[in-house]
Structure 1
């Protein structure tokens, strides 16, 4: 079983969406998807209501997810760690114990083959349109990642 972790800052906007989207695209008997945040702001809480609503509009239910903080033990649990932006990347890489840990960490848009602006923008301070844009971006990225993983 391949285990994949999605990581953003607070684990309430981007990573829960990426978690739900990729989970919907991959068979559960071969892949396990989870998400976490680099910060400890929202531990135990639901994803942002706007992320839940955006996912629901696209027939994905993320209301069962709970926010948690990324920990060093995640390097032992997960095969691939997708981060949403360069700040998340630096926060996770700082916790890496060795080259094997570091090799697991990837910018999600870069791994999906996007050529420009390799960061998923944080929609937290925006409105529903910003969440829709992030959803579309992550959906496109997860299409490419799922296709690659299923090869």
Structure 2
């Protein structure tokens, strides 16, 4: 969901952040769902919020991700630790800054994104709200000279 939300902001021609970010992708630290489409509830939540063109096949983190991307965002503390361990264990260099996405909560404290898969339908709405807020706050922080979008 985070990829779909973030992509919808930076690839929308009406967004002030249009094309300021090159590649946007998502992956997991485990290979449990490699090749799978997003959960239907994720797609439904995105659609409810006007994101109708999101396509993705799950994949696992790659060594090359640390070189290809400027930022790698983890959704929770366990994933953050897993990504850091991956980089350290494999001695992968690269430019990517590994961060908890919730560092951009805008609340003054780090938040984690709970995986909504095993929680009720409202969890998907909360995840969407967090991903939207974190994306907007990250972009505003990273590109301070870009006027914020009107709400």
- Category of TM-score, reference length = shorter chain: 0.7 to 0.9
* Secondary structure in structure 2 of the residue aligned to 1:34: coil
Residue in 1 aligned with 2:20? Answer: 30
Q: Is 1:42 matched with 2:33?
A: yes
Return the TM-score normalized by structure 1: 0.79
Checking the alignment, whether the CA contact within 8 Å between 1:55 and 1:62 is kept in structure 2 is no
Checking the alignment, whether the CA contact within 8 Å between 1:52 and 1:62 is kept in structure 2 is no
Alpha-carbon separation, structure 1, partners of 2:48 and 2:97: 32
The answer to which of 95-104 and 72-81 deviates more is: 95-104
Residue in 2 aligned with 1:73? Answer: 64
Structure having the higher strand fraction is 1
- The one of 100, 103, 113 equivalent to 1:110 is 103
* Structure 1 residues 45-66: Cα deviation after superposition (integer angstroms, max 9, x where no partner): 1011110100010011364111
Checking the alignment, whether the CA contact within 8 Å between 2:67 and 2:95 is kept in structure 1 is no
Count how many residue pairs are aligned between Structure 1 and Structure 2: 135
Return the TM-score normalized by structure 2: 0.79
The alpha carbon displacement at 1:127 in A equals 1.9
Higher CA-based Rg:
2
Greater relative contact order: 1 or 2 (C-alpha under 8 angstroms, separation 6 or more)? Answer: 1
Residue in 2 aligned with 1:64? Answer: 55
The alpha carbon displacement at 1:113 in A equals 4.0
Checking the alignment, whether the CA contact within 8 Å between 2:69 and 2:96 is kept in structure 1 is no
* Secondary structure in structure 1 of the residue aligned to 2:73: strand
Residue in 1 aligned with 2:137? Answer: 144
- Evaluate the alpha carbon distance shift between residue 62 and residue 128 of structure 1 in structure 2; reply closer, same or farther with a 3 A threshold: farther
Q: Is 1:129 matched with 2:122?
A: yes
Q: Is 1:51 matched with 2:42?
A: yes
